[in-house]
Structure 1
Amino acid sequence: MQRFTGLLSIFLFISSAAHALEPRAGWVVHDTDKSFDELVEAVREAVTTAPIAIVTQASASDGARAQGHTIPGNRIFGLYRNDYARRMLAASVAAGIEAPIRLYVTEDVDGTASLSYKTPTTVFAPYFDEGGDALRELAAELDSVFAAVSESALAD
């Protein structure tokens, strides 16, 4: 019985971890009908027409696969641009730790995928006292850029 309970606990943990992200303060979460691979490609395509670039990528699922494990797909895209970085750093050097701002694609248990991100305003909020209006304006501009990238990636 203990073995069954242990296996059940592991299964419940894995299945709950693979569900769509829950909405949370400062986050935008979009559930989609797209598969994980389709949504990853849609994000890449959306960025090509946006005023931002993919400057980093990371994927725990790719790393797990390389080690012989299978976990639900996930990919983090770090999006930014050098002129955004210069403006951010002119306003707040401390805010530099937040760049690039991330967009997150996760595979859901039903085979679809979700697209989520913390709004740039949320990401930079801890630095607003130091960065003032310049950082607030940059964050608002980036909120619009991230919304446009998401809208484009989600379009059919």
Structure 2
Amino acid sequence: MKLLWTVFALLALPAWADEPLSGWAVYPTGKSYDELVSDTKSAVKANGLIVVTQAGPTKAAAARGITIPGNLVIGAFNNDYAVRVLETSVRAMIEAPIRFYVTENEDGTATLSYKTPSFVFAPYIYEGRDPLRDIAQELDDTFQIVAEAAVK
């Protein structure tokens, strides 16, 4: 019986792997990786945020002669949010900037995903209370607007 359950679990694994993780927003697109990276950066700027950081292994791997799918983390935030978050919880600022994640799929399309700001800041709500919860909700709305603009 144990072997049967193990086989069942292994067969079901690919279906589970396609499920988004808790607290994540995932936007598959028909866009290319380069197009989605550019559109995400533009949408960040157009919606009052700043691209604070960018990091990914793709270009560094290529410089070493290794080809991997496109993969870029784009950190977005602004000073207004930083000051407001700090007023509620100094510890919570370790989560800034909050990141968008652009990944290239096997078929040449790209996916935009991110952990929702309310999920990211959840561990600090005990300290920041309602003001931090309100900021996180504002950021949830802004990140959704950015994502929807980037993927359309």
Q: Deviations 1:103-128 (Å, cap 9, x if unpaired)?
A: 00000111110000000000000000
CA distance in 2, matches of 1:129, 1:50: 29
* Counterpart position of 2:117: 120
Task: From 54, 57, 79, give the equivalent of 1:57.
Answer: 54
Among 23, 27, 31, the alignment partner of 1:30 is 27
Distance across 2 between alignment mates of 1:110 and 1:148: 26
Offset at 1:141? 0.3
TM-score, structure 2 normalization: 0.86
Give 2:84's match in structure 1, choosing from 76, 83, 87: 87
Q: Quick check: 1:34–1:113 contact (8 Å CA) kept in 2? A: yes
Alignment-derived partner of residue 152 in structure 1: 149
Identity of aligned residues (%): 55
Structure 2: how far apart are the matches of 1:21 and 1:29? 11
Q: CA RMSD in A?
A: 1.4
CA displacement at 1:68 relative to structure 2: 1.5
Aligned length, in residue pairs: 137
In 1: Cα distance, 2:18 partner to 2:52 partner: 24
Separation in 1, partners of 2:139, 2:45: 16
1: distance between equivalents of 2:44 and 2:145? 9
Contact 1:21 1:114 in 2 (8 A): no
Q: What residue number does 2:106 align with?
A: 109
CA contact (8 A) 1:21 1:29 kept: no
- Unpaired segments ≥5 residues, structure 1: 1-15
**Counterparts of 2:65 and 2:18 in 1: how far apart (Å)?**
25
Structure 2, unmatched stretches of 5+, are: 1-13
